[in-house]
Structure 1
C-alpha cells in the first residue's frame, strides 16, 4: 500500500472519529456506555464510507504447487497388433495407472496416435497409418512452456511424414521411447516401394518401378512377378546376397483397354520367411482414351505460368502448352481450354477466334493487363479503370454451387495484386472467391465463373497465384490440395456437360491404407446449395453382393461419407436424395494393402537415438521398471511452487458493505429500543 493512501486512511479515521464524537459526546454531561456505543457505531459507518471513497488496494498472494506433466503417447496402429505387442502395451498402461508414486509426482496425460494425435486412452490398434513426426509437432504446441517428459510407446515404424528423428528436435522435452518388438534379424524379402502413375492412356505403355529389398546373410534366388488376374504380364529372376541386398526393376506394361486395370506384384517368398505379407503389393492404373490439352497464353514470362502448369499437369490426364498470342491463333482447335494470362492488345485476334468457335476460356487479370482492351472485347463484364493497384486477399464463398470446392484456408494465403476498382458483370455469375482488404469483405469477386451461350468461362482478378501454391505447401506439407483446387476448376472449364443438381466427387480406386472419402453436392431447383436434403449412399460389395447403406453428413459446403472401414473389394454405389427422385451411381475399387503389416522388427536404432538425443532414455517393453524409477528419481522433474499476486481494490470486498449495513442497522435498532427515535 502506498504511503499517500495510508495518509488518506489516517485522515479518514480522524474525520470519522471527530464526526462521531461531535454527534454523540458533545453537550453531554456524562459519558454513558450507551453513548460510547452509539459513537463507536457511527464512527464505524463514517470510516467505512470514507474507505470506499479512498478505495485502497491490497495485494493478495496465492501459493500453489504445480506438478510436472508426464505425457504418455501410445502407438495405436495395426502394426502393434501385427508384432503381437498389443497385450504388452495394455499391461504397461495399467501398471502406470496403478503406480501411486508416479500418480503423485506427475499430472499424467494419455494420447494415442496413428495419422493424428488424439487425447484419449482408448486403445484399439486400428490406425492404418503412423506419423510420429506429427506427434512431436502437435505436442510441442501443447507443452511448449512446461516441464513434460514424454513416454513414447511405439515400434518406431513410421509409414509417412517427415523423419521423426529430426522433427523431435523442435520438441524440447526429454523423450523416453518404450520399444515394442525385438532385435532379432529375420530372413525377409519384400517390395519396399512400387512407383506407378495413377493414369495411363489407351494404346500407350506405362512405366513401373519396383524397389526390392532383401534382409539376410546368405545368397538367395527368387522371382519377381506381375500378374493381371491369373495372367503373368511380367517376370524376372533376381539374386540377392548380404552385400547386394536391394534391386531396382524398371519396366513398362501396355494400356490395352479403357478403365481401371488391376495388377498384383509379387516377389516369390523364400522357404523360411516369417512375414510374407510384404512380398506382394496390389496396384491399379486408370486407362483413359484421351488427354485434355490446355493452352496457357501469355506474351511475357511470369512465375504464375509455371505454377499453373505444374498444378494442372499434376493430373496425368492433362497437358499444358505455354504459347504466345500469335502462335496460338492457328492451334485453337487443338485445345479443350484456353487460359489467357493478363491479356492486352496483342490478344485481339485470339479473342475473335475464341468467340467464333465458342471456346471455353479462363482469363487472369493482373497489373499488366490492358483494362481498356478487356472492357472492349468482353461483353460479359467490365472493370473500372483507376490506374491504381491494390492487394486483395481471398475469402471462400461457401454458397458456390457449380462444383465442390474445398476450403484451403484461403484467408492465410498472401494477397493477390490487382487493379483497384469495381467489377461489373452483365450476366449471372458465381464467385468462388471474394475479395477482402485487411480482413474486410468488399463484396467483389476475386475468382468467378459463369456460363453463356453454351460455353463456360472463369476470371481471376489478381496475379501472383504462385505464392498461393507455395503457401499451400507450407500449410499442408504438400501441393496436392492446391493442385486439386486448380484441377477442379480446369475440369469444369474444359467440359460442356449440362449442370446437374447432384454432383459426386470420388476416385476410381483407393489404396487400402488411405482414407476413402466420397463427397457430394445437392442443389435446389435454383441451383443453390441445399443443406436440408438427406442423402444416403447404398454400397454393393461385388465379391459377396452384400449391401450397406450409409448417410452422408454435411461438412463445410458439401455432403461427405467416410468409407475407410470398408474391406478391400470392388463396390458399386448409388447416392440418392431422400425427398426427391434424384440419384447418381458409380463404382470404385479398394486395393488390398496394409502398410502397417510390412514390418518384422521395431526400429530399435532410431528409437534409441531419439531417447539419447532428447536427454531421455529408451527401454524395451519387457524392462520398463528402470525407466519408471528414473522418472521418479530425476531431479529435473520436481514440483514447482508458484505464487500469484493479485491486486484487489477495497470496493470489491463485499464484507465492507455488510459492516456498513450492520453498524447503521444496529445503531437504529438501539436508538429505537431506548426511545431516542
Structure 2
C-alpha cells in the first residue's frame, strides 16, 4: 500500500498544520476543564478531515489474482478438404465437435474460429461449410498477434497447410509468442499437377523489335518428368517449343522465348504445357496473352492546298518524331511532288492542310470515292485542318465521309472566340497529362472559327473542345472513328496561334501537349486511350492471384498518379482494388484475387485531385475450377516447423485424441492496483459528518450556541 499527495499542496498543508498548533495554544487555559477538552479534540479532528479533503491524498493498494487463459481454435474450411479420402466432411465436423466437447469437459476455456479467404469469429460447429475458394493462414496469425495481450493460452489449428493467398507458411517458421498445436488434415502424398503460373510479357512493343516472353511452370506431386512447353501465335502457328524437366514439390521452372512481332495492333499468343497422364487438372496447362505492337515508323501524307501559318508548324512537329513525311504542296495548279505518289503509297495518317481550295476543288470533287476507298483499304487516319482559303463546298464532300457538314459563319460569329476542352478531353486524355491541368487549359489563346459544324444524327463523333462565345454550340475539335478509320477535325484557321502566342510563357509546352495526344490517337498508338493494360494471363482459377499491369504510351509522361481498378460481373460492381506504380519497370500494377467464375470485366481509373478518369478497360475469364484444387495434400513439413518452433505439437488427424494431453488449464497471475481517493470516499465523508454533528451538540451543551 502507498500514499500519494499532490506536491503542490505541501506548503498549504504546512500552513494548516501550523494553524492547528496556534488554535491549540489559544485554548491552553481552558484545557483543564474536561468538557472543553472534548470540544477541542473534535474540532481538531474536523479540521484534520477538512485538511485531508483539501490535500486529496490517493491510497494505492497492490493486489493480484489468477486468470484462466483461453485456447483459440482455428478450423480450415477451404474447398481442398473435401477431396481427401479421410476425413470425410461428416467425420471432420463430428471429430472437431467431439474434440471441443472433451476440452470443455476439462474445464478449459476456448474460442472457435474458421478461416479460408476470411476469418469468421462467430462459428457454430454443426453449420461449418467447407467451401472457401482459397486459404490465407496469415489471418490466423494476425488474430493471434492482436490477441497476444488479451491473454491467450495458445492456438489449435486444423488445416492441410495448402496456402494460396496471403503470406507463405515459411514466414511463420520462427513464430514463438505462444504454443501452436497443429492437426494435419489430408494425404501426405500429393496429387500430380503441372500448371502455367504466370506469363511475363511487356504490354507494349515496337514492330520489328525482339520481345522476351517468360513463363513460369509449376509442378506439384512426387514426379520427375519431361514436359513440352510450346508457344503459338493467333493463327495457331508454332512460334517456339522447349522441353523442360520438372521435379514436383511445388518447384518452378522458367521457360523463355524470344519473338519478333510484325503485326500492328493486338497480337495474341497461346502458351501450352503438355499434360501428365495422371494429372488432376489440365485447365491450367495453357494461357493466352496479348501484346500491343506499335509501328517503328509512320508514313504521313501532308496535303497543303495553300501554304499558311499552320503549315510550317505542323511539318516541324511531325519531323520531330520517327515519321516519314510526304508533303504535297499545291503550286502553279499542280502538286509538288506529283500527287500520283500519294495514290500509290500506303499512309497511316493523311492530313488536309487548307485543302481543298477553290483552284483545285474540281479535281478533289472527282476523287472523293477513290479517296474514301483508300482510307478504308489502308486503314488510314484522316486529319482536317482548314485555312482561310479552304473551299467549303468541296470540303463537305470529304466531311460527308465522317458524317459532318460545314456551314459558312455569319459575320457576327466570324471573330476571335474563346474556347475550352469538353469533358471528353478530360476523360480521354487529361488524366495522363503530367504538366497540363485545368488552369493551363483555361488560359489558351482564342481562335478564329473556320466554319459552323453540323453533325449527322447517326454520327458517332465526339466533341473534345467547343467555342463558348457563340450562341449555338460549335465544336472546335472533333474526334471519331468509322469503319476502323479514325479522323479528326480542328475547326479553326489559326491553330498556329496556340503555339506562337504562348512562346516564352509558362504554358509554352501546351501546343505540343495537345497535338501529341491527337496524333498519338490518330496513329493508333493506344486504342482509344493513352494507356495499355493487360492481365498476366487470360484465364484464372477461382481464388488465384491476378496481376494487372499497364504502361502509358506517352513517353514524356512521368507523373505518378494513384488509381483504382473496378471489377464487374454482369455489370455489377464486385470490388475495387488499388493501382500503384512500379518504379523499377515504370509500369502501373494492381494485384487481386480472381472472384467468381465467368467473364470478369475491369475498368482502370486514375485519380487527379478530386476527380477520377477512366483510362483503360478489359476483361479476363475465371474458370469453374478452384486454385485450391491445384494442391491436394498435407503440407506436413512446413506445418511441423511452425508447431515445433512455437513450442506446440504436430498431430495427424488420426491421432487427434493424443492432443488432449497437451491442452491444459493455464492460469496467468494478473497484477492490479486498487485506487482510493478520500475526496470521493463515502465512508470518510460519513465520518466527517458524524464528527461535525457531535461537535455541534457539545457546543449546544456548553451554551456556545
After TM superposition, the score normalised by the length of structure 2 is: 0.48
Q: Which has the larger radius of gyration?
A: 2
After TM superposition, the score normalised by the length of structure 1 is: 0.49
